[in-house]
C-alpha cells in the first residue's frame, strides 16, 4: 500500500512519457495519491511497513513505513503535488516533459519521506535531480541554464558529503535501517555531525551554502519551484531531525554555536537580501531560504536539549506550514506573470482592481508567510520561539539558543517589510500599463490556490489536526 | 569437461572463424554475428556450475584456478566481447570506409575474429594464479588489441593510436617482466598462492620485493590507466575504432584490475608490505581522480571525454583495491560494463550517422530520437553515480570501504570534488541532447541490434539500481 504511493506518480510519469494524455494522467495520479495517503493515515495498522531486501551484505532493504514526522511530510507532499500539477503554464507541445518531471520529483519526495532505510532515504531524494536539471534548463525562464547548473552541482556536492556522513553514521552498527540508528561512539560524533550539517545544510540552503536556491526557484517552472521549495527542501531538515539527532546528539551540541550563527545568517542576512529584491520570483526564492532559519532554530533548540518536547513538533509544524505557503505563493506568482507578463515589482501596480480573487489569495499567502495568527505559519513560528526558551527559567543566564531566538524574532519584522511592500506595489495603488488588461483568475486556476489556502487556515486554527500524527 | 577447456574452446573457435572468414565470400559482418553467437554459447557454459568430478588437473593447478571470482570476470570478458561484436556489426559502414576506402568489406573480416582471441586471453587472465600465466595471457590480450586499435588503416587517428598503444604497451610489458623477475628473485617462486605463506615465514628479501612490486604497479597502472601511466588513454581511446574503445575501456580495464588484485592481495594483507603498498595505491588513486576529472571537464569531444572519465573511474577503483575490498571493485566493474557499453553504443551510432564524435553531434538528440537520448541520459546518470541507477552502488560501496578503513580526509575530499565534477561533465552531454537544438532535425533510425541491446542495457542499469543483489550472487556472495 505504501509502495503504491511511490509507484502511482512514478508509473504515471512513465505512462506520460509513453504517450498517455499528460495533464489528465498527472491529475488522476495526484488525486489517487491523496486517496491512498488518506487511507494509509486513517488506518496505520492496515498499512504494514513494506520491506524488500535488495542487498545482503551490507544489509540494505527497500523498506517503507510511516512514522510520526514522515506522516506529516507525506500529507505535505501529496497536497503540494496536487496543487503543482494544476499550476503554471505549460508551453505548447512540452506537456510530456512538464508533467512527467513533476511526477518524478513528487515520487522522489514521497519515496524519501516514506523510507525507513538510510540508503533509500538518500537515494529517493536524488531521483529528482535529473528531472529538475532538465525542467529548469529547458522550460525555465530568465537565467535558467546557469541556475540549472548551479542547483545540480551544489546538490550533487552536498549529497556526496551527506553520503560520507551517513556512511560514517551507519558504519558502527552495520545496519541501514532507521530502527537500528543509535548514538555512535563519542569520538566520531563531531565529525559525523559536521558532515551531516554540511550535507543536509546544503540541501536546505543553510547559509552560506544557499546561493543555489533563489536563482533556481526563480528560474524554475512553477511546479518544480513548488515541489522543490515546498517539499524537497524539507528533506534535509527531516534528515537532521530523524537521523542527525539520533546518531550524533553530542556532536550536534558541539556544533551548536555554529548552527546558531549560520541560522541567523539565513534569517537576518538573507532576509535583508530579500528586502532588496526587485522581482517577485527572486523575492520569494530568497524568502524561502530565509524561513529555513526558523526551522533550524527549532533544531538548534533540540540539539541543545534533546528532551525539549516543543522543539520537534515546532519544527515539523513549521516545515508543513512553510511548504504549503511557499507553494501557494509560487503558484500565485505564476498567475501574476500569466496575467501581466512581468514580475518586476516596479512595473506592477493596482492588480487588485482587475483580479480581486488573486489579490485576496496572494494577500492570504503573504500574511501566512509573515506569520499572521490564524494561519499555519504562525502556529509553527510561535512554537519555535517558545521552544527556544523552553529550557530557560527566569533568572538564568541566556545561552546560545535563547540569544539566537531573540535575534531571530526580528526576522518577523523583516519578512513583514518585504512581503507587505511587494503586496502593496503589486496589487494596490493605481493601475499601470502591465496590469491594465489583466483578467481575474478563473475556476481552474482557483483550485490549487483554494486547496492550499484552506489547508493554511485549517491548520492555523487547529494545528492539532496535523500534530496528532506525531504520535503515530 | 575440465574447466580450462573453455579457453581452449574459445581459441579454437577464433581459429575456425579466421578460416571461415578467409575461405568464404559472404558479408563479413555476418561473421561478427556468428562470433557473437558462439560466444553466447560459451557464456552459457560459464553459467553452469563446475561439475565437481572434473576439477582442474594437477599439472594445471598452479597456473589456473576456477573459483567464483574468476568466473565472474570471465562472464564480464565474454559479455564485453559479445557486445563489442554486436557494436562492430552496426559499425561496419565506418570500418569499411577506413579499411578499404570503398563500400566493400573484404578487408574487415579479421576485425570480427580478433576480439575472440582477446576474449580467450581475458578469460585466461581471470583464472591465472601464477605470474607467468598472467604475463602470457596479458600478452595475448595486448597483442590482439594492438592490431584492433590500428585496424582502420586509412584513418590517421587510428594509426596514431595504434603506434602510441604499441610503444607504451611494449614499455609497460618490459616493466612487467622486469618486475616479475625481481619478485621471483625476492620470493623464490612465481606461484602467487604461495606468497602469503612466504611473507609470513619471512623467507624473502623485503627491498627486492618492494622494487619488484613498484615495477609491477607501473606496468599494471598502464593497463588500468592510473597516474603516472595514463597519458596514452586519451589519444588511444579517441583514435581507436569505437567498438574497440569500448572493449578497452571495459574488458581490458576489468582484467587489469583483476590482475592487480590477484598480484597485490598477498602483499596488501601482509604486515611487512601492506601499509607501503596501500599508501602508494592511495596516492595513485588521488592523483588519478584529480587528473581524470579535471581533464574531462574541458572536453568537447565525447569520445575523449569518456576516455578521461574512465581514468577517473580507475581512480575510484584503486581506492577499493587499496582498502582490500575486492568485492566492491568487482561489483563496480560489473556495473561499469553496463553503463559504458550503453554510452558507447549510442556513440557508435552517432559516429556512423553524423561522422563526428564531438558533443555538437549530440545536439538536439532528444528531439531526433527520444529513445537514444533517454538511453544515453540513463547511462550518463549511472556513470555520474546518481542513486537508483546501477552506477551509484559501485561508488557507494567504494566510499563505504574508504570510510570504514579511515582513509585520509584529503583523499575523501578529492573524491567529493570528483563526484561533483563528474556530474558536470556527464550532464554536459544530457544538456547538449535536450537543451541545444540540432543543426538538422532529421530523425535518426536505430538499427535493430543496437536498439535491442540499448533497451536491455538501460533496463539492467535501472533494475540493478534498485536491486543489485544479482551481481553479488554472481560473485558468489
Closest CA of chain A from B441, distance in Å: 16
CB distance from A176 to chain B under 8 Å? no
pLDDT of residue A60: 87
| pLDDT (tens digit per residue) in A4-62 | 889 999 999 999 988 888 889 999 999 999 999 988 888 877 767 778 888 877 888 88
pLDDT band at B260 (very low <50, low <70, confident <90, very high): very high
Length of chain A: 472
Burial code of B123-146, b = ≥16 C-beta within 10 A, e = fewer? bbbbbbbbbebbbebbebbbbbbb
Interchain contact, A134 vs B434, CB within 8 Å:
yes
Expressed in percent and rounded to 5, the helix, strand and coil fractions of chain A are 75, 5, 20
Average pLDDT, chain A: 89
- Averaged pLDDT for residues B13-39: 90
pLDDT of residue B50: 60
Interchain contact, A123 vs B467, CB within 8 Å:
no
The sign one gets for the Cα dihedral B193, B197, B200, B202 is: negative
pLDDT band at A184 (very low <50, low <70, confident <90, very high): confident
CB distance from A57 to chain B under 8 Å? yes
- Averaged pLDDT for residues A338-345: 87
The DSSP element (H or E) to which B287 belongs, if any, is helix B271-297
Pick from B415, B419, B469: CB nearest A54: B469
| pLDDT (tens digit per residue) in B114-125 | 999 999 999 999
pLDDT band at B173 (very low <50, low <70, confident <90, very high): very high
pLDDT of residue A346: 87
Interchain contact, A126 vs B469, CB within 8 Å:
no
Which residues in A lie closer than 8 A to residue B381 (C-beta atoms)? Answer: 130
- Averaged pLDDT for residues A338-364: 88
**What is residue B343's three-state secondary structure?**
helix
Distance in angstroms (rounded) separating the CA atoms of residues A344 and A278: 6
- Spatial CB neighbours of B315, under 8 Å, sequence gap ≥ 6: B226, B285, B286, B287, B288, B289, B290, B291, B292, B418
| pLDDT (tens digit per residue) in A379-418 | 999 999 999 988 888 888 888 899 999 999 999 999 999 9
Interchain contact, B399 vs A57, CB within 8 Å:
no
Would you say residue B52 has pLDDT above 70?
Answer: no
Q: What backbone phi and psi angles, to 5 degrees, belong to A51?
A: -145, 130
Interchain contact, B386 vs A145, CB within 8 Å:
no
Distance in angstroms (rounded) separating the CA atoms of residues B338 and B329: 15
- Averaged pLDDT for residues B290-315: 94
The C-alpha cell at A23 is 495533464
Closest CA of chain A from B150, distance in Å: 38
- Averaged pLDDT for residues A125-145: 88
pLDDT of residue A323: 94
Closest CA of chain B from A151, distance in Å: 11
pLDDT of residue B53: 54
Closest CA of chain B from A56, distance in Å: 7
pLDDT of residue A61: 86
Q: Which residue from B minimizes the CA distance to A150? A: B424
pLDDT of residue B372: 92
Tell me which residue has cell 594445471: B60
pLDDT of residue B477: 58
The sign one gets for the Cα dihedral A59, A62, A67, A69 is: positive
CB distance from A163 to chain B under 8 Å? yes
Q: Please report the number of interchain residue pairs, chain A to chain B, with beta-carbon separation below 8 angstroms.
A: 81
pLDDT of residue A387: 92
The C-alpha cell at B373 is 537520448
Select from A322, A459, A312 the least CA-distant residue to A390.
A312
Tell me which residue has cell 518531471: A101
- A51: β partners: A63
Would you say residue A420 has pLDDT above 90?
Answer: yes
| pLDDT (tens digit per residue) in A65-123 | 888 899 999 999 999 999 999 888 888 888 888 999 999 999 999 999 999 999 999 99
Average pLDDT, chain B: 90
pLDDT band at B51 (very low <50, low <70, confident <90, very high): low
Distance in angstroms (rounded) separating the CA atoms of residues A333 and A280: 7
Q: Checking phi first, is residue B51 left (phi over 0); if not, alpha (psi -120 to 50) or beta? A: beta
| pLDDT (tens digit per residue) in B420-443 | 999 999 999 999 998 888 888 788
Would you say residue B221 has pLDDT above 60?
Answer: yes
pLDDT band at B169 (very low <50, low <70, confident <90, very high): very high
Would you say residue B245 has pLDDT above 70?
Answer: yes
pLDDT of residue A3: 87
Distance in angstroms (rounded) separating the CA atoms of residues B275 and B267: 9
| pLDDT (tens digit per residue) in B445-455 | 889 999 999 99
Closest CA of chain A from B381, distance in Å: 8
Residues on chain B bordering chain A, Cβ-to-Cβ distance under 8 angstroms: 377, 381, 384, 386-388, 392-393, 396, 399-400, 403-404, 412, 415-416, 419-420, 423-424, 427, 430-431, 434-435, 466-469, 472, 477
Amino acid at each position: 500500500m505504501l509502495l503504491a504511493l511511490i509507484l502511482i506518480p512514478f508509473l504515471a510519469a512513465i505512462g506520460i512519457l509513453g504517450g498517455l494524455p499528460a495533464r489528465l494522467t498527472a491529475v488522476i495520479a495526484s488525486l489517487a495519491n491523496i486517496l491512498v495517503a488518506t487511507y494509509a493515515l486513517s488506518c496505520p495498522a492496515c498499512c504494514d511497513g513494506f520491506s524488500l531486501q535488495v542487498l545482503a551484505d551490507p544489509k540494505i532493504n527497500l523498506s517503507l513505513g510511516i512514522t510520526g514526522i514522515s506522516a506529516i511530510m507525506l500529507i505535505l507532499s501529496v497536497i503540494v503535488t496536487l496543487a503543482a500539477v494544476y499550476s503554471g503554464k505549460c508551453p505548447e507541445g512540452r506537456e510530456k516533459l512538464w508533467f512527467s518531471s513533476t511526477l518524478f520529483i513528487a515520487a522522489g519526495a514521497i519515496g524519501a519521506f516514506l523510507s525507513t532505510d538510510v540508503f533509500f532515504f538518500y537515494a529517493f531524494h536524488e531521483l529528482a535531480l535529473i528531472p529538475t536539471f532538465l525542467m529548469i534548463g529547458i522550460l525555465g525562464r530568465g537565467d535558467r541554464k546557469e541556475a540549472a547548473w548551479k542547483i545540480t552541482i551544489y546538490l550533487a556536492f552536498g549529497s556526496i558529503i551527506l553520503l560520507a556522513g551517513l556512511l560514517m553514521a551507519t558504519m558502527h552498527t552495520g545496519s541501514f535501517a532507521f530502527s537500528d540508528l543509535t548514538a555512535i561512539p563519542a569520538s566520531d560524533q563531531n565529525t559525523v555531525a559536521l558532515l551531516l550539517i554540511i550535507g543536509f545544510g546544503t540541501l536546505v540552503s543553510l547559509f552560506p551554502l544557499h546561493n543555489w536556491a533563489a536563482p533556481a526557484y526563480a528560474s524554475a517552472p512553477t511546479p518544480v519551484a513548488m515541489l522543490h521549495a515546498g517539499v524537497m527542501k524539507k528533506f534535509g531538515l527531516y534528515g537532521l531531525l530523524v537521523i542527525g539527532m539520533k546518531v550524533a546528539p553530542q556532536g550536534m551540541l558541539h556544533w551548536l554555536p555554529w548552527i546558531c550563527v549560520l541560522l541567523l545568517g539565513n534569517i537576518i542576512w538573507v532576509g535583508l537580501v530579500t528586502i532588496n529584491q526587485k522581482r517577485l520570483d527572486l523575492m520569494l526564492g530568497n524568502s524561502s531560504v530565509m524561513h529555513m532559519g526558523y526551522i533550524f532554530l527549532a533544531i538548534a533548540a533540540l540539539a541543545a536539549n534533546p528532551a525539549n518536547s516543543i522543539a520537534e513538533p515546532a519544527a515539523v509544524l513549521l516545515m508543513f506550514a512553510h511548504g504549503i505557503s511557499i507553494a501557494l505563493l509560487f503558484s500565485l506568482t505564476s498567475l501574476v506573470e500569466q496575467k501581466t507578463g512581468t514580475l518586476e515589482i516596479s512595473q506592477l501596480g493596482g492588480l487588485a482592481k482587475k483580479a480581486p480573487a488573486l489579490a485576496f489569495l496572494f494577500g492570504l499567502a503573504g500574511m501566512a508567510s509573515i506569520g499572521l495568527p490564524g494561519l499555519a505559519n504562525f502556529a509553527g513560528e510561535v512554537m519555535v520561539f517558545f521552544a527556544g526558551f523552553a529550557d530557560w527559567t527566569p533568572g538564568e543566564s541566556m545561552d546560545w539558543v535563547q540569544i539566537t531566538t531573540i535575534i531571530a524574532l526580528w526576522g518577523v519584522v523583516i519578512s513583514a517589510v518585504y512581503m507587505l511592500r511587494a503586496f502593496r506595489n503589486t496589487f494596490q495603488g493605481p493601475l499601470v500599463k502591465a496590469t491594465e488588461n489583466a483578467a481575474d483568475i478563473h475556476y481552474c486556476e482557483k483550485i490549487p490556490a483554494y486547496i492550499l489556502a484552506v489547508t493554511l487556515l485549517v491548520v492555523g486554527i487547529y494545528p492539532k489536526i496535523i500534530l496528532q500524527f506525531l504520535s503515530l | 569437461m575440465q574447466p580450462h577447456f573453455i579457453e581452449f574452446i574459445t581459441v579454437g573457435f577464433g581459429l575456425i572463424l579466421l578460416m571461415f572468414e578467409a575461405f568464404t565470400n559472404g558479408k563479413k559482418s555476418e561473421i561478427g554475428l556468428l562470433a557473437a553467437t558462439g560466444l553466447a554459447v560459451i557464456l552459457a557454459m560459464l553459467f553452469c556450475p563446475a561439475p565437481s568430478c572434473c576439477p582442474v588437473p594437477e599439472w594445471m593447478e598452479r597456473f589456473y584456478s576456477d573459483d567464483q571470482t574468476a568466473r565472474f570476470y570471465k562472464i564480464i570478458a565474454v559479455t564485453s566481447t559479445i557486445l563489442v561484436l554486436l557494436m562492430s556489426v552496426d559499425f561496419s559502414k565506418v570500418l569499411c570506409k577506413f579499411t578499404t576506402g570503398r563500400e566493400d568489406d573484404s578487408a574487415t573480416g579479421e576485425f570480427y575474429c580478433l576480439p575472440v582471441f582477446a576474449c580467450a586471453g581475458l578469460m585466461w587472465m581471470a583464472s591465472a594464479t601464477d605470474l607467468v600465466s598472467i604475463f602470457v595471457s596479458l600478452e595475448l590480450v595486448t597483442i590482439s588489441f594492438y592490431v584492433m586499435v590500428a585496424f582502420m588503416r586509412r584513418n590517421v587517428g587510428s594509426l596514431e593510436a595504434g603506434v602510441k598503444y604499441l610503444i607504451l604497451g611494449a614499455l609497460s610489458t618490459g616493466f612487467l617482466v622486469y618486475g616479475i623477475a625481481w619478485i621471483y628473485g625476492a620470493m623464490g617462486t612465481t606461484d602467487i598462492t604461495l606468497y602469503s605463506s612466504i611473507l609470513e615465514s619471512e623467507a624473502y628479501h623485503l627491498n627486492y620485493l618492494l622494487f619488484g612490486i613498484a615495477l609491477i604497479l607501473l606496468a599494471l597502472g598502464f593497463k588500468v590507466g592510473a597516474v603516472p601511466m595514463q597519458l596514452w588513454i586519451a589519444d588511444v581511446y579517441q583514435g581507436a575504432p569505437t567498438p574497440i574503445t569500448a572493449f578497452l575501456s571495459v574488458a581490458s580495464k576489468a582484467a587489469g584490475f583483476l590482475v592487480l588484485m590477484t598480484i597485490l592481495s598477498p602483499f596488501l594483507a601482509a604486515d611487512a608490505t601492506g601499509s607501503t603498498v596501500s599508501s602508494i595505491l592511495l596516492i595513485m588513486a588521488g592523483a588519478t581522480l584529480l587528473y581524470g576529472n579535471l581533464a574531462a571537464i574541458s572536453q568537447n569531444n565525447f569520445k575523449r571525454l569518456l576516455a578521461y572519465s574512465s581514468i577517473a573511474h580507475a581512480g575510484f577503483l584503486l581506492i577499493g583495491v587499496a582498502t582490500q575490498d575486492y568485492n566492491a571493485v568487482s561489483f563496480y566493474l560489473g556495473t561499469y560494463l553496463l553503463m559504458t557499453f550503453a554510452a558507447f553504443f549510442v556513440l557508435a551510432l552517432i559516429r556512423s550517422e553524423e561522422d563526428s564524435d564531438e558533443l555538437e553531434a549530440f545536439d538536439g538528440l532528444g528531439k531526433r530520437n527520444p529513445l537514444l537520448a533517454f538511453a544515453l541520459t540513463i547511462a550518463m546518470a549511472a556513470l555520474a553515480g546518481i542513486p537508483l541507477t546501477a552506477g551509484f552502488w559501485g561508488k557507494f560501496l567504494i566510499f563505504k570501504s574508504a570510510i570504514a578503513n579511515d582513509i585520509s580526509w584529503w583523499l575523501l575530499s578529492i573524491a567529493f570534488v570528483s563526484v561533483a565534477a563528474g556530474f558536470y561533465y556527464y550532464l554536459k552531454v544530457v544538456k547538449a541532447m535536450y537543451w541545444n537544438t540540432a543543426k538538422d532535425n532529421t530523425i535518426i533510425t536505430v538499427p535493430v541490434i543496437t536498439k535491442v541491446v540499448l533497451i536491455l542495457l538501460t533496463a539492467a542499469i535501472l533494475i540493478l539500481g534498485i536491486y543489485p543483489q544479482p551481481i553479488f550472487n554472481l560473485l558468489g556472495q
